[in-house]
A and B are shown apart, each in its own frame.
Chain A
């Protein structure tokens, strides 16, 4: 049987490097706020004729919207145009002018007043915090019959933060290259990733719980290793089926849910990795008090080791 436990440093190192890249990208490229978080107008344009992205950008520039952010969505091939707040008549005029240039089009507009931005930011922040705390409490409760259930909750949360951070990091790279923005569907995706990540972690913890209760072997590491090996196929298969459907959404629908789909795919991949190799292996490190070597490797574990 494959020895995951002894390779744990490698797994931690992979995550460490990924997280480092994400942190660098987040701090250098940052994230761009979508209309829900800053106010403004987003137009979704679906032209009957084929229109090139470059052409559309040029014409928008000619019309005086040179600072508009324009993307072409996967799937539907619609264009997403983000400008600052326009009056209704300006908006209608813009769409009409584009129709004159490029032929008939169907459109969707979302126009949000900046006064709601702060409130939206607050509510989503609260939601993410409640989700994290709620899940930690729940996991601790679900494993209450285990010795030290709090560790299970904490490790699940670390895995979850790991996945959310990677999804954010990948998104900041996308926003650097393709001008993608953080919108409400992105937040929905992040919350879904949180749920999905913990879902996977709980399945593996459950396996560990089951094996511990029936195992004659007292070594925690061996039991965890067996549980991982037994859960490997399940984790990969389930993630595969989920990625298949989300990929279908991304490639065939795209448009306003493309942010959501991309976050979810990134999060599912990261979540599969972290639930297999981060959360359970951290349990072992904690059980065996093997913290010191990792201080040098992964500074983000420091604060946690004191608990």
Chain B
């Protein structure tokens, strides 16, 4: 019995040391060399959630289209130089883009979700009002809208004879037919160039609406854009057009310094919270309280090691869940010690009290923690379903891991340590093991 207890103790010490080596230093553990993964709210950065408009996509192809969108966005994000961008699907028609640790300009941000589909429109008078409507032609008797999907992927930017920036494009076969029909019909009239419902604007901020001077069948050009805008647009027209329009439905933008503040503040809150709990447990429960305090420190280190090992991304809410789990982790010990107190009051020896305390508190510990598990699983689900749900998910996950580990540490660690006292001289002084011993009434 005693030898077995020592063996368990030895195993626990080894687990503790290994965990400590994994955890410290926080940014790159001595063992495995892993850093703590921090969420956007702690390291700063941008999270964008896009809603894709799949209304024009034929049924059954949605997945394929969204995968295409993810690939295009990844290509657009790469040049920004973010170390660990995350681009992923959420649900059926959403894309989440996370760019940690950086602060990008509005223009860069807009480019990420840009459709880059130019549509050509003609001006009509309807009810006395000027209106731009899509310019269409017919191919094989079918009416088609002229847009940049008929561009060959070889657009480029150059300067014309007057030094103005030109974006040169070439029609593919179908585009060429459409363009011929449309430009001959609209000769001498303006042609609108729209991206979504916005007119493409030039360097001067004015809409670009060239007058059609000649019938275009092969190569065309767009004049008036700034160098940067033209270059970017050309790049996106060539290789990175989004198959469907995207709309930003959630945007979270955290400046890195703010995140760093929160890490410091929450570490402070956590440490003060733990110290107060340790003081309370030791003053109230004496030797068992001290033992529970050791178990709590063990608990904290092991949980942080698990966070690193299974790559839990810590958010502010996640830290909240962890800190809360520290408060709840002593619950199992409180339950056990209260049982032990009763046994000691009934005149049992320390050994018997430890045995009965652990044995009889177990069902309460198990049954009560399962309710917390149910809630945590629901929280993780909610977090995954909701656009701004990352904090909810983080909280649910850290609390779940915390409570699960605490069931183990509060029981095994505390029991192993308490057994060391059984049979020692200290064990005879039962007042060291129980608060207010002798007062029968609560």
List the interface of chain A (C-beta within 8 A of B): 1-2, 35-36, 44, 46, 75-76, 88-89, 92, 106-113, 115-116, 119-120, 123-124, 127, 130-131, 134-135, 138-139, 142, 184-185, 187-188, 191-192, 194-196, 198-200, 202-203, 206-207, 209-210, 229-230, 232-234, 237-238, 240-249, 251-253, 255-257, 260-261, 264
B328 within 8 A of A: yes
List residues 225-269 of chain B with CB under 8 A from any CB of chain A: 247-255, 257-258, 261-262, 265-266, 268-269
Whether A195 lies near B371 (C-beta < 8 A) is: yes
- Closest CB in chain A relative to B248 CB, distance in Å: 7
Whether B374 lies near A138 (C-beta < 8 A) is: yes
Whether A252 lies near B265 (C-beta < 8 A) is: yes
What 1/0 flags go to B380-404 for Cβ under 8 Å of A? Answer: 0110011111011001100100000
Asked whether A127 and B368 contact (CB < 8 A) given A2-B442, A194-B375, the answer is no
Docked pose: A126 CA to B399 CA in angstroms = 21
Whether A246 lies near B327 (C-beta < 8 A) is: yes
Docked pose: A75 CA to B370 CA in angstroms = 32
Asked whether A119 and B386 contact (CB < 8 A) given A46-B261, A244-B273, the answer is yes
B106 within 8 A of A: yes
Asked whether A131 and B391 contact (CB < 8 A) given A108-B254, A112-B249, A112-B250, the answer is no
Docked pose: A200 CA to B334 CA in angstroms = 12
Chain B CB within 10 A, most for which of A110, A185, A248:
A248
Q: Which residues of A contact B272 (CB under 8 A)?
A: 248, 252
Task: Across the interface, name the chain B residue whose C-beta is closest to A109.
Answer: B253
Q: Which residues of B contact A253 (CB under 8 A)?
A: 262, 265-266, 269, 316, 320
Task: Across the interface, name the chain B residue whose C-beta is closest to A104.
Answer: B257
Of the candidates B255, B268, B386, B395, which one forms a contact with A106 in the assembled complex, judged by CB atoms under 8 Å apart?
B255
What 10 A-B pairs have minimum CB-CB distances, sorted nearest first? Answer: A195-B375, A245-B273, A242-B327, A245-B327, A252-B269, A106-B258, A248-B273, A113-B249, A206-B364, A198-B371
Chain B CB within 10 A, most for which of A247, A260, A261:
A260
Q: Which residues of A contact B330 (CB under 8 A)?
A: 238, 241
List the interface of chain B (C-beta within 8 A of A): 41, 51, 106, 109-110, 247-255, 257-258, 261-262, 265-266, 268-270, 272-274, 276-277, 280-281, 284, 316-317, 320, 323-324, 326-328, 330-331, 334-335, 338, 342, 360, 363-364, 367-372, 374-376, 378-379, 381-382, 385-389, 391-392, 395-396, 399, 441-442
Whether B374 lies near A131 (C-beta < 8 A) is: yes
Docked pose: A203 CA to B328 CA in angstroms = 13
Whether A257 lies near B374 (C-beta < 8 A) is: no
- Closest CB in chain B relative to A28 CB, distance in Å: 29
Whether A131 lies near B378 (C-beta < 8 A) is: yes
Asked whether A233 and B249 contact (CB < 8 A) given A134-B378, A257-B316, the answer is no
- Closest CB in chain B relative to A36 CB, distance in Å: 5
- Chain B binding site: helix, strand, loop or mixed by DSSP? helix
Task: Across the interface, name the chain B residue whose C-beta is closest to A242.
Answer: B327
Q: Which residues of B contact A241 (CB under 8 A)?
A: 277, 280-281, 327-328, 330-331, 334
Whether A113 lies near B248 (C-beta < 8 A) is: yes
Whether B386 lies near A36 (C-beta < 8 A) is: yes
Whether A248 lies near B324 (C-beta < 8 A) is: no
Whether B253 lies near A112 (C-beta < 8 A) is: no
Whether A184 lies near B326 (C-beta < 8 A) is: no
Docked pose: A134 CA to B190 CA in angstroms = 65
Whether B316 lies near A199 (C-beta < 8 A) is: no
Task: Across the interface, name the chain A residue whose C-beta is closest to B392.
Answer: A188
Task: Across the interface, name the chain A residue whose C-beta is closest to B436.
Answer: A233
Asked whether A44 and B258 contact (CB < 8 A) given A109-B252, A112-B388, A230-B338, the answer is yes
Of the candidates A110, A131, A207, A249, which one forms a contact with B375 in the assembled complex, judged by CB atoms under 8 Å apart?
A131
A sample of 19 more A-B contacts (CB under 8 A), given A92-B106, A134-B378, A249-B266, is A88-B109, A110-B250, A110-B252, A111-B248, A111-B250, A112-B250, A119-B386, A195-B376, A199-B372, A202-B368, A237-B284, A237-B338, A238-B328, A238-B330, A238-B331, A241-B280, A245-B274, A246-B323, A248-B276
Whether B258 lies near A46 (C-beta < 8 A) is: yes
Whether B320 lies near A257 (C-beta < 8 A) is: yes
Whether A203 lies near B364 (C-beta < 8 A) is: yes
Q: Which residues of A contact B110 (CB under 8 A)?
A: 88
- Closest CB in chain B relative to A153 CB, distance in Å: 11
Asked whether A107 and B255 contact (CB < 8 A) given A191-B379, A252-B269, A255-B262, the answer is yes
- Closest CB in chain B relative to A178 CB, distance in Å: 20
Whether B258 lies near A245 (C-beta < 8 A) is: no
Asked whether A202 and B364 contact (CB < 8 A) given A107-B258, A242-B327, A245-B324, the answer is yes
- Closest CB in chain B relative to A237 CB, distance in Å: 5
Q: Which residues of B contact A232 (CB under 8 A)?
A: 442
Docked pose: A247 CA to B41 CA in angstroms = 21
Q: Which residues of A contact B342 (CB under 8 A)?
A: 230
Docked pose: A195 CA to B380 CA in angstroms = 14
Whether B251 lies near A111 (C-beta < 8 A) is: yes
Q: Which residues of B contact A44 (CB under 8 A)?
A: 258
Docked pose: A253 CA to B363 CA in angstroms = 36
Q: Which residues of A contact B385 (CB under 8 A)?
A: 123
Docked pose: A198 CA to B376 CA in angstroms = 13
- Closest CB in chain B relative to A33 CB, distance in Å: 13
Docked pose: A106 CA to B328 CA in angstroms = 34
Whether B388 lies near A108 (C-beta < 8 A) is: no
List 26 contacting pairs A-B, 8 Å CB cutoff, sorted by A.
A1-B441, A44-B258, A75-B265, A88-B109, A108-B255, A109-B251, A112-B388, A116-B249, A138-B371, A184-B389, A188-B392, A192-B375, A202-B367, A206-B367, A206-B368, A237-B280, A238-B330, A242-B327, A242-B331, A245-B277, A245-B323, A246-B323, A248-B270, A248-B273, A252-B272, A253-B320
Docked pose: A139 CA to B334 CA in angstroms = 22
Q: Which residues of B contact A75 (CB under 8 A)?
A: 265, 269
Q: Which residues of A contact B248 (CB under 8 A)?
A: 111, 113
- Closest CB in chain B relative to A52 CB, distance in Å: 20
Docked pose: A192 CA to B373 CA in angstroms = 10
- Closest CB in chain A relative to B38 CB, distance in Å: 14
Of the candidates B258, B324, B375, B395, which one forms a contact with A242 in the assembled complex, judged by CB atoms under 8 Å apart?
B324
Whether A188 lies near B395 (C-beta < 8 A) is: yes
Whether A249 lies near B331 (C-beta < 8 A) is: no
Chain A CB within 10 A, most for which of B250, B330, B371:
B371
Docked pose: A75 CA to B374 CA in angstroms = 31
Of the candidates A108, A131, A196, A248, which one forms a contact with B253 in the assembled complex, judged by CB atoms under 8 Å apart?
A108
